[in-house]
Every structure is written in structure tokens, then in C-alpha cells.
């Protein structure tokens, strides 16, 4: 049974006053301070003289015991200079010791040029075992904003059509994956906290509040919740004589949106990229799953190529090309399985290249769809039953696929074999899917050194990268949101999206709260845009939702003629679209949204241009009000909104209403008038 050593908070947290004479203070950023109480071991964080977090502590589990800061009596502090990828600053280490307990070290990285603190927890001893480490446990905080505070639920992945959720900060505890945000939409003040390392731990952020203040904030490695991480077994335990938590980011910002972008840049600096960054133009193109789906064949695939070649020759990226991607069931073109006849598939590849288009393909490396234990896996003599990820309940099944152990030599031999065949065909892009199956916790991995799902995921993804050896554009579909950035060039921001206004709103829910991932990946993507069966308003919304996410991937059956194609042909070949796509960066939301909905206004500011997208998700007529002060444009100036797809222009005043006759969207270039 877990023995809890309780923290006597009444002795530590009584007010926002700090006892004098027992403080170690380290400045960071612009007029900010980390303050450590050398008597209790608690720490506080000040921004411009205001206490944002008061008397926060740390906690961890070792074997079956839980320890907290108050369990320790003897403490020492050291401070030393550091200079790393984030800049120059100080590293404060608080070491706490007690007989019979692991040594607890709390590390705080404070940079002179960064308005955030990074902290991690380390335990030292013998025969340690931990699946829970919390560098930050706080029972009191304040944003000094209005009392209508919100806390954001961030999903671990983009599976099962899960959504980001903006919730009222109240007594009900919100648990978020990897990242948490507590913010006030009116003032935009916000506290952004989260994990900066994803190769070992699944991390969580829990939050609650009362009366406009934070009453609970916990940042920890060891998140396990079947509704969030999909796991049916406990988070794996790390073992050894020294165990570290993930590095955690803590930052208070005047604008929570800028805070999230700052977090993304810090994550890139700390974790880095394993895959070689993409050095070519923003990808645009087509994927077969949107409409053709399982009926893909050689005739339809080459028919789409012909449409791109003859009907939309100006829908290309800065490299003058586009990607024609075959999704699942591309093996309809292959007879006899992976050892069979690849003639038609090779012919498709050549057909694309002859027309200066790049062929793409699809695969799910960590799933078995057959679920027959005695089948022999491609590329080896191993049976699939040996390769399945083991859990206390048997195996991990989700989305119809059974998880494969990424550390198993059979799984790796299969990856090498299949990807080798696709490389030999000459494909220049691959969409890899259901990657979350490679990150699930297991009761036992083949590699005995691997004890957590994220360790297994790292091994599997690094093996994919090494096998591909930078030969293809690597695109992730269903996958862990933050942990995948190290390994791929491009990632789908949400789950499947097709043609309706509801699909646009669902996708834009993820853009509303996840646009900042555009600074972790080379590109993020809104999935295939499908236009058939919908009115002009819905089609405008689908196209604009892809444009403001960063890249454009189409999804209709372009091998057959249809009455909606002339309008789409006109939109796709407008010169302004090529300029818009060039940077490949996502738009930022102007406002937050409510619950699991999406923002209606998104903005992107470039050196020479400002773009504004406006959406109406309602089927009926409606108007959307633009408050010029919320756009961050220069005060006192007049602007004109020029519609990129050919809609009416609008003069932008202090508050301007944009009218919709039905569901739809406008994409404007903001012009000084």
C-alpha cells in the first residue's frame, strides 16, 4: 500500500508574505525572481514584484512510498553560472537529505534573457524505482487578472476526434497532457506550464482554482489516464541509482498566446530534433483517403495526377511541385503482397515524376491489423504474436489495430523491410499513422532496459528516421502531439477531417489552442480538404482552414469531373495563395473559444503582410465583430481588408462587423488605407 508522507501546508503557506533572512533569490528575465525558502525548501516565483506562485514544493514516489518536500529537514543550496542554447543565467540546486530516504535535488534554470523558469527533480540513492516525479506542486497562485479564469485541457494525441477544452478554473480538477495553461481571455494574462522533454515520461498538469486564484497546480512525469494517454496499465517505472523528471517550463505572460509560442521555442531548444529539418518549400498536394479511400487504384491515382498537371498547374509550392500521396489501400496496385509484383506502383511513381509531381505513400509502422498470432511478419521469421505489446489485460487494441512493441527485433525488421521497399520504389513522401500505438505502456518490453512507453516510442521513431535516412518528407497523422516533433517534418493538427463546416470547426479547435506547434514542427497540417457535396460557404471554410494551418492537402476524387471543380480551380491558382503558403506558418487565434469550440478569428503577421481569417460555423446568416484593438494593429491608423479568394473588401474601423449569409469564411489581407 502506498504510504503518504503528508505536507503540513499550514506551517508553510499562510500568506503571500515571505519570511525575511532565509531566502535565496535568483533573478531571471526582465524584473522577475525565483525565491527559495532555505528553511522549508518551498519556492515562489515573482513577476515584476507580484507573487505568481507561492511556496510551491516537489514530490516523488520511490517504490511504494511517496515523499514531499516537508519530509526533509536538512537542505543545502548551490548556485552556478550556466550558458546553453537558451542563453546565460544561473542554475540553483536545492539538495534535501534525510536518513533512510533518497536524496532529493530540485534544479532551477534561470536565464537573464528569458521570462520563464525551467525546473526538474532528481533523486539519488540505491535501488530506486519511480513512476511519478513532480517538480512543481503548488497550492496557491494568482494571475492578477479578472475572476473569469480558464484552464486548458491539452490532449496527449489527436486520436478518437479528441478536442482541446477551455474550462472554467474552479474546484473541479482539470488534468491536461504535457502542457497546461491558466489564462484570462479578456486581459490575456496567462500562466503557461509544461514538459520540455518527451522521450522518457508522459507528463501531466493538474489545475484547480477558487475565487479567481489558483488553488492547485501540479506538474508531474507519470501521467496515466486511459481517456488521455490510452493506457490500460500504469506508467512504467524508471529504475537505478539516479532518476530525473522531465524538465518543466513555468512562465507568466501578459499574453498567453505569446507564452505558448515561447514554450514551443523552448521545447525545440531543450529537446532538439532527431530528423533532419526540412529545407524545401512548404508541402502542398493531395491525399487519397478523403474521397477515394479504399477504392484507390492505378487509374484513379494517375487521373488525379492528370488533373494536377493540366487543370491546376499553378497550384504548386515555391519549388514548383506538389505531392500526390497514396493513403491506405495503395496495395490494391500490388499483387502478391510485399514479395509480389510492384510494377503498377513503380509506374505510378514514374508517372508523377515525369510531370514534376512528387509521389507519396502511407503506412502504420506500429500496428497489426490482422491480429493472427501465427502470421509471419514481413522482413523476418518472427510471428506477430511475439511482437504484440503486452499489457496486464493482454494486448493493446485501438482503432482496430493491435499495438506492436517498437523495441522488438521483429517490429524493427518489418519497418526496415517495408520502408526499404517503398524507398526502392522512389517515393518522396510518406504519411505514417497510428503512431500512438508505439507509445503505450506495457507490462514488459522486449528490450529489458526500456520500461516506459515513451522510451519505446523514442526507439521506434528513431529507427524509422534512420531507415528513411532523410530520403522522404515525413508526415505524421495520428500521433502524440508534442513527442512526435523530434522525428517528423510535418504533422496533422487534428484527426480526420473531410468536407463539412463541422469538420472545419473541429480542425480549427486544434488550431485555436495548438497553432504554436508550428514552431516545433517544420509544418502542421489540417488534413485533406474535401469540397464535394458542399455549398460555396462550407468549401471556402474548408480551404481557408487548411491555409491558416500552414499547408494545403486536397482530398477529392479529381480523376472524375464535377460541377464544383471550376470554383476550386480558380481559388487554388490565385497568386496570393502561393505567397500565403510560402512561410508555412499557422495563424494565431485572436480570441479564445468556449469549451471544445473553435475561435472565429485568426491572424498572422509577417514582415510585409498581415492576414486575417474569419469563420462563421453556423448554417444560418450571422455577423462577426472585429475589434481592431484586439488585432494588435497600430493604433490610429485605418485599414482595408482585401479578400484573398475574391470576396468583397471591407473597411476596417474601430469595430467592424463582417456579415455572412450562410456558413463560411473570409481570408483577408490587411492593407493600410
Report d(CA 651, CA 268) in Å as an integer: 40
**According to the CATH classification, is domain 319-492 in 3.40.50.300?**
no
373: left (phi over 0), alpha (psi -120 to 50) or beta: alpha
Q: What pLDDT is attached to residue 10?
A: 31
> Mean pLDDT for each 10-residue chunk of the chain (673 residues)?
34 36 91 95 97 98 95 95 97 97 98 98 98 98 91 98 96 97 96 98 97 95 96 96 98 98 98 96 98 98 98 97 98 92 96 98 97 95 97 91 98 98 97 98 97 98 98 98 98 95 97 98 97 95 97 97 95 94 96 96 94 97 95 88 94 93 97 88
Cell of 40: 522549508
Q: Which fold has domain 601-672?
A: Immunoglobulin-like (2.60.40)
Tell me the whole-structure pTM to 2 decimals: 0.95
Rounded to an integer, what is the distance from CA 507 to the centroid of its chain? 13
Q: What pLDDT is attached to residue 14?
A: 31
Are 213 and 141 in contact, with CB atoms under 8 Å apart? yes
Are 194 and 182 in contact, with CB atoms under 8 Å apart? no
Angle at 366 between CA 364 and CA 372, to 5 degrees: 100
| Strand order, beta sheet including 473-476 | 523-525, 490-492, 473-476, 429-432, 358-363, 323-325, 284-287, 552-554
Positive or negative, the CA dihedral 144, 92, 104, 99 is negative
Helix axes 501-514 and 536-547, enclosed angle (nearest 10):
20
Strands (E), 282-355: 284-287, 323-325
Domain 3-271: give its CATH architecture. Distorted Sandwich (2.70)
What phi, psi does 214 have (nearest 5°)? -85, 125
Report d(CA 596, CA 598) in Å as an integer: 7
Rounded to an integer, what is the distance from CA 373 to the centroid of its chain? 34
Cell of 46: 515573482
The CB density around residue 430, as the number of other CB atoms within 10 Å, is 24
In 3-state terms, what secondary structure has residue 37?
Answer: strand
Report d(CA 109, CA 250) in Å as an integer: 11
Q: What pLDDT is attached to residue 392?
A: 84
Domain with CATH 3.20.20.70 in the chain: 319-492
Domain with CATH 2.60.40.1180 in the chain: 601-672
Q: What pLDDT is attached to residue 555?
A: 97
Are 404 and 459 in contact, with CB atoms under 8 Å apart? no
Helix axes 409-425 and 343-354, enclosed angle (nearest 10):
50
Report d(CA 354, CA 321) in Å as an integer: 12
Burial 275-294 (b: 16+ CB within 10 A, else e): beebeebbbbbbbbbbbbee
| CB hemisphere CA count around 509 (13 angstroms) | 24
Q: Return the residue matching grid coordinates 530540485.
A: 106
Amino acid at each position: 500500500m502506498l504510504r503518504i508522507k503528508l505536507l503540513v501546508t499550514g506551517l508553510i503557506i499562510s500568506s503571500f508574505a515571505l519570511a525575511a533572512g532565509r531566502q535565496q533569490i535568483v533573478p531571471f528575465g526582465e524584473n522577475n525572481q525565483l525565491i527559495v525558502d532555505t528553511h522549508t525548501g518551498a519556492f515562489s516565483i515573482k513577476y515584476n514584484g507580484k507573487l505568481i506562485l507561492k511556496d510551491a514544493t516537489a514530490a516523488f514516489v520511490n517504490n511504494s512510498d511517496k515523499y514531499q518536500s516537508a519530509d526533509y529537514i536538512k537542505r543545502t543550496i548551490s548556485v552556478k553560472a550556466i550558458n546553453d542554447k537558451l542563453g546565460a543565467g544561473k542554475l540553483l540546486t536545492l539538495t534535501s537529505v534525510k536518513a533512510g530516504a533518497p536524496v532529493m535535488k530540485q534544479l532551477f534554470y534561470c536565464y537573464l534573457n528569458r521570462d520563464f523558469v525551467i525546473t526538474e527533480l532528481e533523486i539519488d540513492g540505491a535501488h530506486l524505482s519511480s513512476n511519478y516525479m513532480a517538480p512543481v506542486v503548488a497550492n496557491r497562485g494568482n494571475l492578477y487578472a479578472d475572476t473569469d479564469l480558464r484552464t486548458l485541457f491539452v490532449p496527449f494525441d489527436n486520436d478518437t476526434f479528441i478536442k482541446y477544452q477551455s474550462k472554467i478554473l474552479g474546484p473541479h480538477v482539470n488534468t491536461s497532457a504535457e502542457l497546461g495553461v491558466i489564462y484570462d481571455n479578456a486581459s490575456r494574462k496567462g500562466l503557461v506550464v509544461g514538459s520540455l522533454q518527451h522521450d522518457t515520461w508522459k507528463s501531466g498538469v493538474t489545475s484547480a482554482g477558487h475565487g479567481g486564484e489558483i488553488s492547485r497546480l501540479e506538474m508531474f512525469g507519470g501521467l496515466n489516464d486511459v481517456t488521455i494517454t490510452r493506457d490500460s496499465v500504469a506508467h512504467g517505472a524508471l529504475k537505478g541509482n539516479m532518476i530525473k523528471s522531465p524538465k518543466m517550463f513555468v512562465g507568466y505572460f501578459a499574453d498567453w498566446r505569446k507564452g505558448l509560442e515561447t514554450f514551443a521555442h523552448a521545447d525545440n531548444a531543450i529537446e532538439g530534433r532527431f530528423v533532419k529539418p526540412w529545407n524545401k518549400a512548404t508541402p502542398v498536394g493531395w491525399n487519397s483517403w478523403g474521397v477515394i479511400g479504399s477504392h484507390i487504384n492505378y487509374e484513379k491515382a494517375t487521373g488525379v495526377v492528370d488533373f494536377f498537371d493540366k487543370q491546376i498547374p499553378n497550384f504548386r509550392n515555391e519549388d514548383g511541385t506538389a505531392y500526390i500521396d497514396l493513403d491506405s489501400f495503395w496495395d490494391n496496385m500490388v499483387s502478391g503482397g510485399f514479395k509480389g509484383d510492384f510494377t503498377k506502383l513503380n509506374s505510378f511513381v514514374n508517372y508523377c515524376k515525369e510531370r514534376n509531381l512528387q509521389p507519396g505513400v502511407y503506412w502504420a509502422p506500429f500496428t497489426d491489423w490482422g491480429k493472427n498470432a501465427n502470421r509471419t511478419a514481413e522482413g523476418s521469421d518472427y510471428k506477430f504474436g511475439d511482437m504484440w505489446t503486452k499489457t496486464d489485460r493482454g494486448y493493446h487494441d485501438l482503432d482496430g489495430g493491435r499495438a506492436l512493441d517498437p523495441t522488438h527485433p521483429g517490429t524493427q525488421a518489418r519497418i526496415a523491410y517495408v520502408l526499404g521497399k517503398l524507398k526502392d520504389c522512389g517515393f518522396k513522401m510518406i504519411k505514417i499513422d497510428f503512431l500512438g500505438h508505439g507509445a503505450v505502456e506495457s507490462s514488459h518490453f522486449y528490450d529489458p532496459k526500456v520500461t516506459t512507453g515513451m522510451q519505446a516510442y523514442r526507439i521506434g521513431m528513431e529507427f524509422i528516421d534512420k531507415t528513411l535516412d532523410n530520403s522522404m518528407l515525413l508526415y505524421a497523422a495520428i500521433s502524440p502531439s508534442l513527442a512526435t516533433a523530434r522525428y517528423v517534418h510535418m504533422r496533422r493538427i487534428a484527426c480526420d477531417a473531410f468536407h463539412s463546416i463541422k469538420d472545419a470547426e473541429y480542425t480549427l479547435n486544434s488550431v485555436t489552442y495548438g497553432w504554436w506547434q508550428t514552431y516545433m514542427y517544420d509544418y502542421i497540417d489540417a488534413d485533406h480538404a474535401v469540397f464535394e457535396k458542399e455549398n460555396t460557404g462550407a468549401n471556402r471554410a474548408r480551404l481557408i482552414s487548411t491555409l491558416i494551418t500552414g499547408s494545403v492537402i486536397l482530398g477529392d476524387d479529381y480523376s472524375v469531373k464535377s460541377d464544383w471543380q471550376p470554383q476550386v480551380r480558380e481559388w487554388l491558382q490565385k497568386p496570393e495563395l502561393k505567397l500565403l503558403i510560402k512561410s508555412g506558418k499557422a495563424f494565431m487565434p485572436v480570441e479564445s473559444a468556449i469549451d471544445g469550440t473553435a475561435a472565429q478569428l485568426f491572424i498572422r503577421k509577417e514582415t510585409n503582410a498581415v492576414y486575417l481569417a474569419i469563420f462563421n460555423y453556423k448554417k444560418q446568416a450571422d455577423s462577426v465583430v472585429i475589434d481592431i484593438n484586439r488585432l494588435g494593429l497600430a493604433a490610429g491608423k485605418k485599414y482595408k481588408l482585401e479578400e484573398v479568394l475574391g470576396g468583397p473588401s471591407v473597411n476596417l474601423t474601430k469595430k467592424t462587423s463582417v456579415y455572412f449569409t450562410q456558413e463560411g469564411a473570409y481570408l483577408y489581407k490587411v492593407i493600410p488605407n
